[in-house]
């Protein structure tokens, strides 16, 4: 475990308060990638930006402040950088002791577009009168916990700061510890670069530079698996990782990534990909001029893997998360791309037993909900009298194909009122070709929703063996259509 | 880890690339299939990183039955540009529908490749009806399948891609009584990754909708 610094770290926060509402609100992946552009601009002034979430970046203030000549100077410089990006979003820069104070100062500053600097040592005063709700808005503490604090009568940060760490942890678990560190400013969120623990860090080096993004990501995949497994085998989780990439010409891309829920293989690989594509796309000035020769990953923040073994309880698995990401990426390619998942609807008509819902409105990572979606109300649908007998057709024509069914003398075959065929079918005619009917089964009548005048349907189904294929025909309103095929 | 000697042996004296090494050392390179299909496939399972082709009568059913068993074990299955797929039949084949997505790209060419590439990144088994892209894009896609250790199943004939393993149903006939009861197919398996051509008779679909071996086709 990394030791927590005893003193508040002087922290710079750059905050876009409206980022979540304005930039790809439904697409975290695209949001992250857009924020990469902002981070790139910031890192020209101060390297080693910590990306917390899209819209919030943190930096250790010590180095940049010394280099640019003081907190005020570096804050003004960063604010100028962010406004030159040309986003029509409010942006604030704040410098204070500890990340909470810095983030609040930045959010305050964003209202009137100025940089706010809380002088060293004054952060406790700055925080003390603020309501506890800022812990939720700026400190990633859950809404429920904040609500509970308020109901316990702790309305200001000063009153929370009065509690000792032990009682907070007793009452709120690990989150209590985080609250204590936040209000006292001794959060471990921002590390000085020389604090990197080497224990789990990993370095991959190649003799020939890797030229494409895909090859780097593919080659690093197993390293990421090792990285995550090594950490989780000790019962830990990495919540902050520094990824450094070196090109053959010694150019560097350096970034610190945060993942509140702990990095999984999938989310770590995503960070590699985002960082790499951001670096490659960054234009002539920063883009690498040669292939990637070395990648280093160093975990900066760890925590006990607390109650995250959700998979045992049918919760999220790394697998499901990868799929959710892949679907998001596929949908991001173009607006026309449709991703759907099946949903059980029931009924006797084979065409409508399963419907489709758009994947963006369901959480693919929620295994329980996914299972419910496809099996809701499904006792054993084959026992519904009147449904089609198995095996069921695997190809469904949701837009039925018009066909004609005639007997040996060329007369149209109809279904009588007593649910019998008027004559034996011999030829199935499509618009451009005809097939000889070798065998048939049915007709099976079906009346749906007879109680509902506007939606009721009456039709008959007929299975026909033509050539070597079996097709399913519907006869509705004296018209034959082909609705399904048994491929 | 695999010893150096075995590696050299496996790669017939050639030095392995990092990707090949990763693939060899990966212990999860096989995805299980239904019992009746094990005799048909090389290694008796689906191999990650491979492209499978299903052609001839019953190609769709064959593709779905290949994927069914793996979805029960937690793998995801994606249908690309197959809007006509009948989920009820897919379920009867044994596919866990809760791990199925269906992707409609409405496009061809480079964009199609990007969409399918993204899906391959996250989904274990991808079934496509045909490849709507150039030969070069198809090659890129195949290498992505290898890099991501996914399985790509192509239904029908595609000019641009040579499947590693091709399953072809040579002949088939329906048992048709009071209704279409079941179908017997003769399926051959060949291709550059299948050293010997194997031929099997399968009941596909069987009376309950899933695949079965001919011997076990006792009346239910």
- One-letter-per-residue 3-state SS of chain A: CCCCCCCCCEEEEEECCCHHHHCCCCCHHHHHHHHHHHHHHHHHHCCCCEEEECCEEEEECHHHHHHHCCHHHHHHHHHHHHHHCCCCCCCEEEEEECHHHHHHHHHHHHHHCCEEECCCCCHHHHHHCCECCHHHHHHCCCHHHHHHHHHCCCCEHHHHHCCCHHHHHHHHCHHHHHHHHHHHCCCCCCCCHHHCCCCCCEEEEEEEEECCHHHHHHHHHHHHHHHHHHHHCCCEEEEEEEEEEEECCCCEEEEEEECCCCCCHHHHHHHHHHHHHHHHCCHHHHCCCCCEEEEEEEEEEEEECCCCCHHHHCCCCHHHHHHHHHHHHHHHHCCCCEEEEEEECCCCCCCCCEEEEEHHHCCCCCHHHHHHHHHCCCCCHHHCCCCCCCCCCCEEEEEEEECEEEECCCCECCECCCCCECCCEEEEECCCCEEEEEEEEEEEEEEECCCCCCCCEEEEEEEEEECCEEEEEEEECCEEEEEEEEC
B52-77: average pLDDT: 92
CB-CB neighbors (< 8 A) of A325 in chain B = 121-122
- Put simply, whether A463 touches B (Cβ < 8 Å) is yes
Confidence of residue A4 (pLDDT cuts 50, 70, 90): very low
Confidence of residue A375 (pLDDT cuts 50, 70, 90): confident
d(Cα B15, Cα B17) in Å, to the nearest integer? 7
Q: What is the pLDDT of residue A282?
A: 67
B140 min Cα distance to partner chain A (Å): 10
- Put simply, whether A443 touches B (Cβ < 8 Å) is no
pTM of the model: 0.56
- Give the residue with greater pLDDT, A55 vs A453: A55
Say if the Cβ atoms of A333 and B118 lie within 8 Å.
yes
Summarize pLDDT for A279-323 with one digit per residue, the tens.
877 666 677 888 899 999 888 777 766 544 443 434 446 778 788
Q: Cα dist. B198→A116, B56, B186 in Å?
A: 74, 16, 10
A113 min Cα distance to partner chain B (Å): 39
Chain B, nearest residue to A320 by Cα = B76
d(Cα B24, Cα B7) in Å, to the nearest integer? 8
Suggest the residue from B1, B77, B98 to mutate for an interface test with chain A (most A CBs closer than 10 A): B98
Q: Which of A337, A392, A397 sits opposite B209 (nearest CB)?
A: A392
Q: What is the pLDDT of residue B162?
A: 80
Q: What is the pLDDT of residue B192?
A: 81
Burial class (CB in 10 A: 0-12, 13-18, 19+), B195: exposed
Suggest the residue from A213, A352, A487 to mutate for an interface test with chain B (most B CBs closer than 10 A): A487
Chain A stretch 358-397, residues whose beta carbon is closer than 8 A to a beta carbon of chain B: 359, 364, 367, 370-371, 373-375, 381, 389-397
Element containing residue B25 per DSSP (H, E): helix B18-25
A138 min Cα distance to partner chain B (Å): 32
Cis peptide leading into residue A443 (ω within 30°): yes
CB A222 within 8 A of CB B148: no
- Give the residue with greater pLDDT, A5 vs A61: A61
Element containing residue B91 per DSSP (H, E): helix B87-92
| Spatial CB neighbours of B210, under 8 Å, sequence gap ≥ 6 | B34, B65, B68, B92, B93, B94
pLDDT higher than threshold 70 for residue A84? yes
pLDDT higher than threshold 50 for residue A108? yes
pLDDT higher than threshold 60 for residue A194? no
d(Cα A342, Cα A378) in Å, to the nearest integer? 14
Kindly state the percentage of chain A with pLDDT values over 90: 8
Say if the Cβ atoms of A393 and B177 lie within 8 Å.
no
Cis peptide leading into residue B205 (ω within 30°): yes
Give the other-Cβ count within 10 Å of A371's Cβ.
Answer: 15
Q: Tokens 């004939």 — which residue?
A: B157
Largest CA distance in chain B: 61
Backbone φ, ψ for residue B168 (5° rounding): -125, 125
- Give the residue with greater pLDDT, A388 vs B48: B48
Confidence of residue B128 (pLDDT cuts 50, 70, 90): very high
- Give the residue with greater pLDDT, A22 vs B146: B146
Kindly tell me the sign of the dihedral angle through the C-alpha atoms of B54, B59, B64, B69. negative
A36 min Cα distance to partner chain B (Å): 20
- Beta strands A404-407 and A292-304 are unpaired
Q: In what order do the strands lie in the sheet with A457-466?
A: A395-402, A479-486, A469-476, A457-466, A434-448, A425-429, A404-407
- Put simply, whether A334 touches B (Cβ < 8 Å) is yes
| Tokens representing residue A96 in the block | 């204070």
Q: Which of B89, B106, B182 sits opposite A394 (nearest CB)?
A: B89
Mean pLDDT score of chain A: 80
* Cα A263-A264-A267 angle, rounded to 5 deg: 80
Q: What is the pLDDT of residue B89?
A: 92
Chain A, nearest residue to B95 by Cα = A374
Q: What is the ipTM of this complex?
A: 0.83
Cross-strand bridge partners of residue A59:
A12
Say if the Cβ atoms of A441 and B176 lie within 8 Å.
yes
d(Cα A116, Cα A97) in Å, to the nearest integer? 12
Q: Find the distance separating the first CA and the last CA of chain B, reported in whole Å.
A: 47
Burial class (CB in 10 A: 0-12, 13-18, 19+), A281: middle
CB-CB neighbors (< 8 A) of B119 in chain A = 326-327, 330
Chain A, nearest residue to B148 by Cα = A218
- Give the residue with greater pLDDT, A385 vs A370: A370
pLDDT higher than threshold 70 for residue B20? no
**Half-sphere exposure at residue A166, Cβ-oriented, CA atoms within 13 angstroms:** 0
CA A149 centroid distance within chain = 30
Chain B, nearest residue to A273 by Cα = B121
d(Cα A148, Cα B101) in Å, to the nearest integer? 40
Say if the Cβ atoms of A373 and B98 lie within 8 Å.
yes
- SS3 at position B93: coil
CB-CB neighbors (< 8 A) of B147 in chain A = 214-215, 217-218, 221
CB B115 within 8 A of CB A338: no
Chain A, nearest residue to B77 by Cα = A323
Chain B, nearest residue to A311 by Cα = B74
CB A41 within 8 A of CB A219: no
- SS3 at position B81: coil
Confidence of residue A192 (pLDDT cuts 50, 70, 90): very low
Q: Which of A391, A397, A484 sits opposite B207 (nearest CB)?
A: A391
| Spatial CB neighbours of A384, under 8 Å, sequence gap ≥ 6 | A348
- SS3 at position B189: strand
- SS3 at position B157: coil
Pick the closest to residue B99 from A362, A379, A222, A346 (CA basis): A362
d(Cα A234, Cα A200) in Å, to the nearest integer? 11
Element containing residue B10 per DSSP (H, E): helix B4-10
Kindly tell me the sign of the dihedral angle through the C-alpha atoms of A390, A391, A394, A396. negative
A463 min Cα distance to partner chain B (Å): 7
CB-CB neighbors (< 8 A) of A359 in chain B = 101
CA A407 centroid distance within chain = 57
A203-207: average pLDDT: 87
| Tokens representing residue A411 in the block | 């007369």
pLDDT higher than threshold 50 for residue B53? yes
A237 min Cα distance to partner chain B (Å): 22
């Amino acid at each position: 475990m990394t030791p927590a610094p005893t003193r508040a770290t002087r922290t710079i926060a750059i905050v876009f308060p409206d980022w979540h509402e304005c930039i790809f609100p439904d697409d975290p992946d695209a949001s992250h990638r857009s924020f990469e552009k902002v981070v790139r601009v910031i890192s020209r002034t101060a390297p080693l930006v910590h990306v917390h979430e899209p819209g919030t970046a943190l930096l250790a203030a010590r180095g940049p402040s010394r280099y640019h000549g003081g907190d005020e100077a570096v804050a003004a410089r960063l604010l100028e950088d962010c406004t030159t990006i040309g986003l029509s979003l409010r942006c604030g820069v704040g410098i204070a002791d500890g990340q909470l104070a810095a983030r609040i100062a930045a959010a305050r500053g964003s209202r009137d577009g100025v940089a706010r600097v809380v002088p060293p040592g004054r952060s406790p005063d700055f925080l003390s009168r603020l309501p506890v709700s800022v812990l939720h808005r700026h400190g990633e503490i859950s809404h429920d916990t904040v609500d509970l604090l308020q109901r316990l009568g702790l309305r200001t940060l000063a009153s929370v700061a009065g509690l000792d760490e032990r009682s907070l942890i007793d009452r709120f678990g690990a989150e209590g510890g985080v609250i204590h560190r936040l209000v006292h400013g001794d959060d471990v969120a921002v590390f000085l670069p020389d604090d990197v623990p080497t224990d789990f860090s990993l370095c991959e080096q190649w003799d020939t530079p890797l030229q494409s993004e895909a090859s780097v990501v593919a080659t690093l995949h197993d390293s990421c698996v090792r990285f995550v497994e090594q950490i989780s085998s000790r019962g830990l989780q990495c919540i902050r990782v520094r990824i450094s990439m070196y090109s053959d010409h010694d150019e560097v891309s350096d970034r610190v990534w945060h993942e509140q829920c702990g990095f999984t293989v999938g989310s770590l690989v995503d960070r590699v990909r985002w960082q790499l594509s951001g670096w490659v796309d960054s234009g002539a000035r920063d883009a690498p001029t040669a292939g990637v020769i070395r990648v280093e990953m160093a975990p900066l923040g760890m925590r006990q893997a607390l109650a995250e073994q959700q998979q045992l309880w049918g919760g999220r698995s790394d697998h499901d998360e990868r799929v959710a990401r892949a679907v998001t990426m596929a949908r991001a390619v173009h607006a026309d791309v449709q991703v759907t998942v099946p949903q059980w609807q029931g009924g006797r008509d084979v065409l409508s037993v399963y419907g489709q819902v758009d994947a963006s409105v369901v959480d693919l990572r929620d295994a329980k909900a996914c299972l419910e979606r496809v099996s809701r109300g499904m006792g054993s649908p084959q026992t519904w009298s009147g449904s089609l007998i198995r095996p069921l057709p695997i190809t469904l024509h949701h837009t039925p194909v018009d066909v004609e069914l005639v007997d040996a003398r060329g007369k149209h075959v109809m279904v009588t009122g007593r649910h019998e065929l008027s004559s034996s079918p011999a030829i199935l005619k499509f618009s451009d070709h005809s097939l000889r009917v070798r065998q048939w089964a049915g007709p099976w009548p079906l009346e749906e929703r007879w109680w509902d005048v506007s939606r009721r349907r009456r039709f008959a189904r007929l299975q026909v063996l033509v050539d070597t294929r079996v097709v399913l025909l519907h006869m509705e309103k004296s018209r034959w259509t082909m609705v399904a095929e048994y491929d | 880890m695999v010893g150096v000697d075995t590696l050299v042996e496996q790669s017939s004296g050639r030095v392995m690339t990092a990707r090949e090494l990763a693939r060899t050392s990966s212990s999860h390179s096989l995805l299980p299939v239904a019992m009746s299909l094990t005799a048909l496939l090389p290694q008796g399972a689906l191999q990650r990183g491979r492209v499978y082709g299903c052609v001839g009568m019953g190609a769709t059913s064959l593709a779905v039955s290949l994927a069914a068993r793996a979805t029960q074990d937690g793998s995801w299955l994606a249908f690309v540009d197959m809007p006509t797929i009948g989920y009820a039949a897919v379920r009867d084949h044994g596919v866990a529908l809760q791990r199925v997505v269906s992707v409609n790209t409405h496009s061809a060419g480079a964009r199609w490749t990007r969409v399918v590439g993204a899906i391959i990144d996250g989904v274990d088994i991808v079934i496509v009806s045909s490849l709507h892209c150039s030969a070069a894009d198809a090659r890129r896609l195949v290498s992505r399948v290898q890099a991501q250790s996914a399985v790509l199943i192509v239904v029908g004939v595609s000019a641009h891609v040579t499947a590693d393993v091709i399953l072809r149903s040579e002949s088939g006939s329906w048992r048709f009584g009071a209704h279409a009861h079941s179908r017997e197919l003769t399926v051959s398996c060949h291709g550059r990754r299948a050293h010997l051509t194997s031929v099997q008779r399968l009941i596909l679909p069987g009376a309950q909708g899933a695949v079965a071996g001919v011997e076990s086709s006792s009346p239910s």
